[in-house]
Structure 1
């Protein structure tokens, strides 16, 4: 990884939607830190945390113009799914999902 000092360069959270489904929330990597694999590492960590909480499926939502995020999610096994948040505009937002555990790609 790049030496970018001691500042936080990324964040993200996981919340359970139900006993089997987790959601990734607010995943972000700073502009300076992008391109060094931090996003992928953070995503893997969040998925492992969701697994440790008993989730067998994970979901997330991102903007349709966020091509870097969409590529990361696609390349790590996420597939498009219908929005799981009422009232979301499918012209703006993209929902994605992935199975967790031994059946994960």
Structure 2
């Protein structure tokens, strides 16, 4: 049986106090310079709105049946519980004229 050659770690281990190498060649790349990575796509710009004041936390207590109804409602519409409750509250406040 032939003995496996142990790979050399030369160039990988940095001695204490030595300066950090500027660049290390990665496996699979040639010694020529690598192409520049593509810029990520631009994020859509939202229209300017007045900044919202800092969010406040609120505790809501629901019975088990109310919670299950909320879960089903949110799941069926692909919404979070936060989204459902915010929309419901804004609708209620809008109707009352506040």
TM over 0.5: no
Q: TM-score range by the shorter chain?
A: under 0.3
What is the TM-score with the length of structure 1 in the denominator?
0.21
Q: Higher helix fraction: Structure 1 or Structure 2?
A: 2
Where relative contact order (Cα < 8 A, 6+ residues apart) is larger, the structure is 1
Q: Higher strand fraction: Structure 1 or Structure 2?
A: 1
